[in-house]
Amino acid sequence: MTETEAIRLFKCLSDKSRLQILKSLAIEDMYVELLAERLGLTPATISFHLKKLAEAGAVRSYKTQYYTMYSLCKDVFVSRILDIVCDASDEAAIQDKREAEYRKRVIDSFFEYGKLKSIPAQRKKERIILEEIARAFEPGRIYSEREINIIIADFHDDFCTIRRDMIGEKIMERENGNYWLVKTKREGR
Amino acid sequence: MNEAKRNEVTSYLEERSTQYKGRIQALYLDDRTDEAIFAKVQMNVYDIFTTIFSAALKTAGEDDGEVVRLFLTKIQQIPQSWHTSLQKAQEHGDADKAHIEYIKLEIVAEIKTAFERIWEVMP
């Protein structure tokens, strides 16, 4: 199910009358007048809702000798909501581009000739700065505290704060005076 | 001048409008948003014809025949553009618009029937 289809379906379902129609059709196929009778709505209103449901792929119609019958498209409802949510976004590329542009702006304004001008006060920006500094470390390699300090000092004099914040942000991990980069989900992609 | 019939029409239109006003709120609270919008459209039609009837009373003065003539003329004229809109919406498969025009026309027919019953006009 595409994002557009999912949005259309969810919008369509967020209406009590339409949900009642679907509940009725889950019992058996029905025609407009019968649904109108059951739900206490006018046939015109039922037709309106059925058209919306058909557009969202939730119901289908077929003709019999006397009536146009409506049935539930059960296959549409087999999709799990979690699967829809976890599906790659149609806008993923645009979102990634926006994020990359923002990161570049932050890096450009806080770094000058490879040196960090100041540590950002805003956590979101500091995280970007820390990630940028973390690129100086090799993934998988274990560093001593002294090695860490020397590398960070190339960027900024306050290496203690940066080192501590890298641990706090879970960019690095520490044990018995040894440090290493944490593998992020982003890197795992 | 038939004061009773004049009052009956006014009361009918105002009562129906009030009923729809209550229905709108109830439908919203019941998560029936589309139907709430439709009820609002229906209420608006009653309000339009309440205004038209009131204008007809002012224009016609004490002449009851003139009140009936003016109101029935307007009730024929005004929905003409709604008929056209309905037709266009149906041609373009615009279900939302088509349904709105349809219910407007339904209310007009209801008002006309009630008006003719009150004034004992032969349809």
Per-residue pLDDT of chain A (189 residues; tens, 9 = 90+): 778 888 889 999 999 999 999 999 999 999 999 999 999 999 999 999 999 999 999 999 999 988 999 999 998 888 788 887 887 777 777 888 888 999 999 999 999 888 999 999 999 999 999 999 999 999 999 999 999 999 999 999 999 999 999 999 999 999 999 999 997 655 544
Question: Are the CB atoms for B38 and B103 separated by under 8 Å?
Answer: yes
Distance, in Å, from the CA atom of A162 to the CA atom of A152, rounded to the nearest integer, reads 7
Encode chain A in three state secondary structure. CCHHHHHHHHHHHCCHHHHHHHHHHHHCCEEHHHHHHHHCCCHHHHHHHHHHHHHCCCEEEEECCCCEEEEECHHHHHCCHHHHHHCCCCCHHHHHHHHHHHHHHHHHHHEECCEECCCCCCHHHHHHHHHHHHCCCCCCCCEEHHHHHHHHHCCCCCHHHHHHHHHHCCCEEEECCEEEECCCHHHHC
Per-residue pLDDT tens digits for B38-88 = 999 999 999 999 999 999 999 999 899 999 999 999 999 999 999 999 999
Q: Is B34 on the interface with A (CB under 8 A)?
A: yes
Total Cβ atoms within 10 A of residue A49? 28
A16 at interface of B, judged by CB pairs closer than 8 A: yes
pLDDT of the residue at A7: 87
- Is A100 near chain B, with CB under 8 Å? no
Q: What is the DSSP letter of B61?
A: T
Cβ contact (<8 Å) for A48 and B34?
Answer: yes
Q: Give the minimum alpha-carbon distance from B67 to chain A in angstroms, rounded to a whole number.
A: 33
Q: Name the residue among A14, A17, A51 with its Cβ closest to that of B95.
A: A51
pLDDT of residue A186: 53
| Residue A95 confidence (pLDDT) | 80
Residue A163, pLDDT score = 96
Q: Which residues contact A138 (CB under 8 A, 6 or more apart)?
A: A181
The pTM for the full model equals 0.65
Q: Give mean pLDDT, residues B25-30.
A: 93
Do residues A126 and A165 lie in contact, with contact meaning Cβ atoms separated by under 8 Å? yes
User: Can you read off the two tokens belonging to residue A26?
Assistant: 């889950």
CB contact under 8 A, B30 and A16: yes
Q: In chain A, which residues have their Cβ closer than 8 Å to the Cβ of B95?
A: 48, 51-52, 55
Test the A interface: residue of B32, B33, B90 with most A CBs within 10 Å: B32
